[in-house]
Amino acid sequence: MQKTIIQISHLMKTYKLGGETVHALNDVSLEINKGEFLAIIGPSGSGKSTLMNMVGCLDRPESGTYLLDGKDIGKMNDNQLAIIRNEKIGFIFQNFNLLTKLTAIENVELPLLYRGVSAKERKDKALDSLKKVGLLERSGHLPSQLSGGQQQRVAIARALAGAPSILLADEPTGALDSKTSKEIITVMKELNEVGHTIILITHDLAVAKQAKRMVSIQDGQLFENGGEPL
């Protein structure tokens, strides 16, 4: 029996734009099991960024419920949400978001530093994470000394370091060429094979098809039928 890690029911989120009400999320329901590799695909303005912010505990729903590991995200205050983000979710961004003055290993250690993990344990976990993404030999390099693909591997290692429940990747190949994109997707597939739960947000159908399951979002509504809205 697979464990349900994310349970989203009838989620709604609206915002005002030029006097009009936009339904960024319109009655969205979604379940994700532990160990899944799910792609959420949609064009710009479809609501996928809003959904990512919800899943990543960066925002709360107006109505509906979001349970992460059985905890109701909608009832948490900002401080509780920050703790959940730090402990449960590893973020991977399009532009890597590495600190330029820190080495690869120092960037990977950052989430652990915020948790108060001891220096030795931080280093051990960071080296282990870099090893998982095949970048152990570059641990002392600054981001400027790394290629785009290597920087994204560091970012993935940083997301891994805190042993999160979920890896949440927002357009992780968006700033990379096609060859490097394939390499990064391969890394994600390998991580999924050893049990990591991965949610990939993308506008690129070729990238989305690499996941084991795909849902599409359009005009704030979710469709689960191979990536095309009904």
Q: For the whole model, what pTM was predicted?
A: 0.91
Q: Please give the structure tokens belonging to residue 97.
A: 């978001």
Domain coordinates of the chain in residue numbers? 37-60+79-223
Provide the percentage of residues in the chain whose pLDDT is more than 90: 80
pLDDT tens by residue, 49-101: 899 999 999 988 889 999 999 999 999 999 999 999 988 999 999 899 999 99
1 pLDDT higher than 70: no
**Model confidence pLDDT, tens digit, residues 100-122:** 999 999 999 998 998 889 999 99
What is the torsional sign of CA 33, 39, 41, 47? positive
Q: pLDDT tens digits for 119-172?
A: 999 999 999 999 999 999 999 999 999 999 999 999 999 999 989 999 999 999
Name the average pLDDT for the chain.
92
pLDDT 10s digits, 196-224: 999 999 999 999 999 999 999 999 999 98
Residue-level pLDDT at 86? 87
37-60+79-223, superfamily in CATH?
P-loop containing nucleotide triphosphate hydrolases (3.40.50.300)
CA-based R_g, the chain, Å: 18
